[in-house]
Amino acid sequence: MNMEALTNLQPELLKVYSRPVSEDDLLAIRRFLASYFAEKSMNLADAV
């Protein structure tokens, strides 16, 4: 695994989720993030 510096988002997520999260919550968070970035990408593509 390539150990590069963290992105600006990663330290913030580490702070917020420094406690255990249930598997259901983890799945919901992953889906939320995927949906957010998919929508953002679609909006950028539509603007081209």
In a domain, 8, yes or no: no
Per-residue pLDDT band for 4 (boundaries 50, 70, 90) equals confident
DSSP for 1-48, written as a single string: ---PPPPSHHHHHHHHT-S---HHHHHHHHHHHHHHHHHHHHHHHHT-
Using CA atoms, how far apart are residues 32 and 34, in angstroms rounded to an integer? 5
In a domain, 13, yes or no: no
In a domain, 26, yes or no: yes
Q: Name the amino acid, one letter, at 12.
A: E
Model confidence, pTM: 0.66
Question: How many domains is the chain built from?
Answer: 1
- Residue pLDDT, tens place only, 18-42: 888 899 998 998 999 999 999 999 9
Which range of residues forms the domain containing residue 42?
A: 21-48
